[in-house]
Amino acid sequence: MARMKFICDAERCIECNGCVTACKSEHEVPWGVNRRRLVTVNDGKPGERSISVACMHCTDAPCMAVCPVDCFYKTEEGVVLHDKDLCIGCGYCFYACPFGAPQFPQAGAFGLRGKMDKCTFCAGGPEENNTEAEFKKYGRNRLAEGKLPACAEMCSTKALLAGDGEVIATIYKQRVQTRRKGEEVWGWAQAYKMDARIAPLGAKS
Amino acid sequence: MSARRASVVGASLLALTVGACGEIDQTVKSEKIYAGKKDVRAADGAAFGGDKKKWEATLVERSKTQNEYLRTDVKK
């Protein structure tokens, strides 16, 4: 069975914001909400790296653990989704998430927060697949169409990989063994409780 | 120091030393049960009609297109 994961290859990301734009456009995400964003470390210094960050759909998701109304669930493929009809916009998930993934639209005056919005791995939410209701609340359900998340498919350098964990790990492994550097996968240790080096240098494929 | 005072000090020190040994686990253990609406599986949509194997195979094939070594037909 497929276990959906993201890999961001920091050696390849050129900070073009193509993934961010693809996500915003695909799901018609409202102004002020960024399901995916780019983080640059060591900006302007030697060793500068950019990483595309969104919900990593963690194995043991902290957002699920802290939600007071239990609106989170995990699909068979390991995608963490939530029911917006149940969400009260408390923001606990935002504080629990190590990736800063949960987003809250400014729904009114005086800093009033709307219901939480986050990356769905382009898998929609708890509505009938590919319906108007699902699109309005959660965005397009590309997985039900047999497609991968728009961010990864749009990535020009293929720094962002999405799909079955085993398949994308194999792709990454081949890359590392070819270029002989950049073996650490950002975020994997935190999200999937795995060794961040899925492709140790020198290992035979 | 009287014997009584010594025994009180001794007992206090012992209590302080082993105090943490009997600490009760304060981690909240609760089963989180999803309370929202039931979702439909991705394979159950109109495109695949519930054929999970076909859906998985389609996604794996699509995932492999992210490998430019295969796309450019470079043997590594």
**In chain B, what residues touch A86 (CB-CB under 8 Å)?**
35-37
Other C-beta atoms closer than 10 Å to the C-beta of A62 total 16
Other C-beta atoms closer than 10 Å to the C-beta of B62 total 17
Assess contact for A27 and A9: CB atoms under 8 A. no
Comparing alpha-carbon positions, the chain A residue that sits nearest to B59 is A146
Note whether A133 contacts B: Cβ–Cβ < 8 A. no
Note whether A117 contacts B: Cβ–Cβ < 8 A. no
pTM of full prediction above 0.80: yes
Note whether A19 contacts B: Cβ–Cβ < 8 A. no
pLDDT in tens, chain A (205 residues): 679 999 999 999 999 999 999 999 999 998 889 999 999 999 999 989 999 999 999 999 999 999 999 999 999 999 999 999 999 999 999 999 999 999 998 867 777 788 999 999 999 999 999 999 999 999 999 999 999 999 999 999 999 999 999 999 999 999 999 998 888 888 888 898 877 676 665 554 4
Q: Does residue B73 sit in helix, strand or coil? A: coil
Whether B64 sits inside 8 A of A86 (CB atoms) is no
Q: How far is residue A194's CA from residue B3's CA, in Å, rounded to a whole number?
A: 58
- Cross-chain CB nearest to B42 (options A70, A82, A143): A143
Q: Which of A162, B58, A18 is nearest to A171 (CA)?
A: A162
A99 to A188, B21, B38: CA distances (angstroms): 11, 36, 27
